[in-house]
Amino acid sequence: MIALILAAGCGNRMRPFTDTTHKTLIDVCGKPIINHIFDNLIANDIRRYVVVTGYRAEELEGHIRRDYGQNDLTFIKNEQFAETNNIYSLALAIGSIEINEDILLIESDLVIDSSVIAQLLRSPFKNVALVDKYRNGMDGTVVTLNANVVTSVIPGHLQNAEFDFSDKFKTLNIYKFSKEFCSSSFRKLLTYYAKAIDDRCYYELILGMLVYMQQEVIHAEIVGNKTWAEIDDPNDLAVASFQFGKDRRLEILDTSWGGFWNFDAVDFGFIRNMYFPSSGFFSQLRNSFPMLLQNYCSKQSILNRKLSYFLLCDERNIHVLNGASQVFPMIRELFGHKCALLPAPTFGEYGRLFEKTVMYGDSGDIDWDEVEGKVNDVDVVVFVNPNNPTGTTLASERILKFARGNPTKRVVVDESFIEFSGEPSLLSLLEKTPSDNVLVIKSLSKSLGIPGMRLGYIYSTDRGLMGRFGDRIPIWNLNSVTEHFLEMVLKYRRDLSDSIASTIADREEFRDMLKGVPDVERVFRSGANFVLVCLGKRSPRKDALADRLLASRQIYIRDISDKFSDGKSYFRFAVRLPTENADLIAAIKGELVEEVSVTPASA
């Protein structure tokens, strides 16, 4: 078997990294990409290599000879690497070597598990392409299959706006070709096309022609759950590091705070309504997407009006936010010098807003006597209702009674999870009987299931305060897609209501299942779409639970033990779909039962 590695390109999409180094020498998980390729090929007993170089050829050849010089190496330089594409490099290689063995063709921007190569070599078919089911984030050539036979090859430039990826497979750009195939039809058509027609296209075009004309049969091996990554641009480096650096997966997600569409993990850390938007909503939004991208959103006053239609409130009392977190710097500017009374524990941002803070406890219940006893020492009182991470819920009427009884205090109420609590929003109460000292903050991503849209609001009947906030908000504060969402959501109130009810039912079922997990000391009551769990006294294995679930089962959870001072393990789990919730329960049981089994009897 001859391994033919195409490595001539400049790697323009990998700039700025490739300005000073060859693309294949970029490090992924502790070693260069080219080393990943060679190590996996060698692990599968391949010893003969043909490498097509071009850009920074001497650098790459020197590296390969230094690290893999004990193998049979042939280097072919594509002198026209800047003007040609891989069809020319492949034609140059096939025309320059004696083809007396089958060829394993691989491009040089891949990080793969050795089992991927093993699957290709085990395939009983002579001419085989490795493929994977098309997923978000993939690009380039795709194929269609009938059973395990490639029926069409579709390059990226033929994938228009209406292209349906649902039944397509992405090529890994790894192939096994028989020596007969490489010496006959493929070689002839490849060489002719590269020389006479177009040397700037991709060799997959030739494969597509042969398939279309039924001159050759190319089979497909679907890699399934095997690990591989294509490094096309700098963003792919993080994805590859996540896939192949299992010991760093938790660090990558914990420090990213989003962008999880790039990572293959079930997210129990961040919280959203799993049942909304509905499929019909998505379909309508998808149809409008091109038009929305090509238009500006409306100014802030119109956005406020559109949101008021959804909230059923006076538009003068609200400001649309680009996510609730947009208001935090404004609160810091306006109130940061004041002393604030905060729940403990709670969302970490509130503790960073104020120079001086006093805490009231939330151990699953909040003592109003404690709050009343401390209110005279502060200027601002913060309620998070339901509280994050405990899920503790206060009666909205009781909060409003407190605010009216303390008219000189600024009462800030975060209602980001209120729909799941059974309590009414303060907006409905304040619209009837205003209290100007109340400021309501809300993220809409949790209830509407749209964290990627960054949508929230602030509400107050204090027009002077709202004017000060308005002075700090830009004229275009949302994008057009989010504005259109506000228009559409009015038509889907019933779907939204049903989704909230389904989430509440799932939460209670989830809580019941969690009570049956070994070492669970307490499952907190929750008025939100998350559940807080105490696993009892901390241990090394519990401390590593989040890391182990992500590394071995690709499940992401949040360990929030550092928010508590009792030396116990605490985890906050988002409420996802019932099957996913059950999978998490099974995974945790597996990890904790394992801990019990390895604990000495004398412990």
pLDDT value for 201: 63
Specify the 3-state DSSP secondary structure of 17: helix
Q: How many helices (H) and strands (E) does the chain have?
A: 23, 26
Rg, Å, the chain Cα set: 30
Predicted pLDDT of residue 212: 67
Residue linked to tokens 């093993």: 118
Total residue length of the chain: 603
Q: What is the 3-state secondary structure (H, E, C) of 431-457?
A: HHCCCCCEEEEEECHHHHCCHHHCCEE
- Tokens in use for 329? 């710097």
pLDDT at 459: 98
**pLDDT on residue 194:** 72
User: What domains appear along the chain, each with residue ranges and CATH number?
Assistant: 2-236 (3.90.550.10), 266-271+496-598 (3.90.1150.10), 298-478 (3.40.640.10)
Residue type, 211: V
The pLDDT score that the predictor gives to residue 314 is 96
Tell me how crowded residue 17 is: count the other CB atoms within 10 A of its CB.
17
* Cα–Cα distance for residue pair 259/250, rounded to 1 Å: 14
Beta-bridge mates of residue 324: none
Alpha carbon 121 to chain centroid distance?
33
Cα distances (angstroms) measured from residue 216 to each of 128, 169, 185, 222: 11, 19, 8, 19
Amino acid at 389: P
Question: Is the four-CA dihedral 451, 455, 461, 467 of positive or negative sign?
Answer: positive
Ranges of residues in the chain whose predicted pLDDT is under 70: 192, 201, 208, 212-213, 594-603
Pairing relation of β-strands 128-133 and 219-222?
parallel
Measure CA 136 to chain center: 10
Beta bridge partners of 130: 221
b or e along 103-124 (b: 16 or more beta carbons within 10 Å of the residue's beta carbon)? bbbbbbbbbbbbbbbebbeebe
Per-residue model confidence (pLDDT) at position 90? 80
> Do 194 and 8 form a contact (C-beta atoms < 8 A)?
no
Q: Quick count: other Cβ atoms within 10 Å of Cβ 552? A: 12
pLDDT at residue 205, rounded to an integer: 72
Query: Can you tell me which residue has the tokens 């109420």?
Result: 413
H-assigned helices in 78-113:
86-94
SS3 assignment, position 524: coil
Q: Which residues contact 58 (CB under 8 A, 6 or more apart)?
A: none
Reported as type and span, the H/E element at residue 285 is: helix 279-293
Fill in the amino acid letter for 209.
M
